[in-house]
Amino acid sequence: MSKRPLVFVVMDGVGLSTKDYGNAVNRAYKPHLDKFMKESPMIQIKAHGTAVGLPSDDDMGNSEVGHNALGCGQIYSQGAKLVNESIETGDIFTSETWNELVDNAQQSTMHFIGLLSDGNVHSNIAHLKALIAQAKKQGVKHVRIHALLDGRDVPARSGDIYVKDLEDFMVSLNDDNFSAKIASGGGRMKVTMDRYDADWAMVELGWKTHVLGEGRQFTSALEAIETYRNEFDVNDQFMDAFVIAENGEPVGKIMDGDSVILFNFRGDRALELSRAFEEENFSRFERKKVNVKFAGMLQYDGDLQIPAKFLVAPPRIKNTMSEYLVAKNIKQYAISETQKFGHVTYFWNGNRTEKFDDNLETFVEVTSDLVPFEQRPWMKSAEITDLLIEAIEKGEHDFYRINFPNGDMVGHTGDFLATVIGVESVDLQIGRIKKVVDKVNGILVLTADHGNADEMFEKSKDPNATPKPKTAHTLNPVPFIVLNEDVTFKQGEFGLANVASTLVELMGFEPNPVWEESMISKK
């Protein structure tokens, strides 16, 4: 093999669009990336839809499925597609877990907690409706929904639309023997949906809201949304917690003997709440454990078996790039900050928490700041680069993979100027990385896992209207750039799953035959 180290950088959320409207990538001053895209071998690749295992090309990609595809070189049915297939075949309703929770709720309450939207990144309202309808069909009499508002994978202030849709659906089912109601909720970036142990206070607030019924009371979720918008001018994802009450009493506290299903299918923001329900020796916040039957839509961590019960089996990803390189005795170094650390480790390694080889794999996490990303859009890019440069100069590894979260995490805030700075921050660090890669005669490869910063405004028919922030991912392609190596790209359409073969070819190996083909022509 080539003895040259390969450094692989994921510029999270940096997609490519020819349109300038709301395009923070184009607006950013990024001399290094602009130079590389102009002068070095580059191809645009797909990072959404069927290319990453999602149901259709109308589905936005995300960091989780993106890193799965990057790390395994294959296309597996993912998230929404897995659940869709299980609902369509009816397998989800014949599962042991579903029927155990339904049976348990016959004389109590079935609770559903999750993100209320059709963004298809963490959840889909259609899945929730199917679960509610089937619960009634199987004799459950009381259903309560704990609805987390999105405003991130869907328009920033669309929560009322999804709440109204769900309430209309429940009205069509409710009768003398069946009662379904929204019981609590709040914005996804403020209540419940923390990830990577970054802010357990969010989960504690969710516990108090959903389980204990503590918090500001309203007569309906629509009233809560309207009130918070009027009082705080806040987008859905940052909305405060709310509790629905009748005569001063919460309509849906989670009680001993109830059943609880977390209907999100994506794992990163579902793990912590699952732990709060399941762990016996739980210490993240003061919690009075409730004796319930709990399950997730999927098992969010197969190695740690979180949760213990789940409705749909996740993809069992085999033949990952890490496994392949370990078999070749190649030393690997993975680094990011907390917000994306799991992506270059857990998701890259095929939804596996543990390393394949402790001696050959080094994982480095830089702790993220607990501040709104728009306030520090540079995030931890400099610290990541400092440690990476130190590792490259030591020369102890052969393959380095890095994720810079800025384009995605700052992009999700909807703050255009902050996102521009985030992209510029990444470009500055890429310039530093290029110098050290040149110094060690290495190869540098740049790509992204999906778009986000490339479309920051919702389109409006009124040219005089104030631009509305767009916080969701995009359907745009991402760059794939090879530096310090003269390569020729094949003709055709490629996606993230073609990256693994391409990288190992650059390292001098023959790709695993089960992977999608390499994008470069052999010399």
Instruction: Provide the annotated active-site residues.
Output: 63
Q: How many CA atoms lie within 13 A of 142 on its CB side?
A: 16
Residue 207 neighbours by CB under 8 Å, 6+ apart = 273, 276, 285, 287
At residue 142, the 3 state secondary structure works out as strand
Distance of CA 418 to the CA centre of its chain: 21
At residue 167, the 3 state secondary structure works out as helix
Q: Is residue 433 within 8 Å of 443, Cβ to Cβ?
A: no
Q: Is 372 exposed, middle or buried (0-12, 13-18, 19+ CB in 10 A)?
A: middle
Type of residue found at 105: A
The order of strands in the sheet holding 443-447 is: 42-45, 478-483, 443-447, 6-11, 399-404, 332-337, 361-366
Residue 170 neighbours by CB under 8 Å, 6+ apart = 132, 143, 145, 180, 181
Q: With CA atoms as reference, report the closest residue to 206 among 230, 163, 158, 242.
A: 242
Look at the block and give the residue holding tokens 């963490």. 122
Report DSSP letters for 363-379, one per residue. Answer: EEEEPPPSS-GGGSTTT
Q: Is residue 151 within 8 Å of 158, Cβ to Cβ?
A: yes
Question: How does strand 332-337 pair with strand 399-404?
Answer: parallel
Distance of CA 355 to the CA centre of its chain: 21
- What is d(CA 446, CA 487) in angstroms, rounded to the nearest whole number? 14
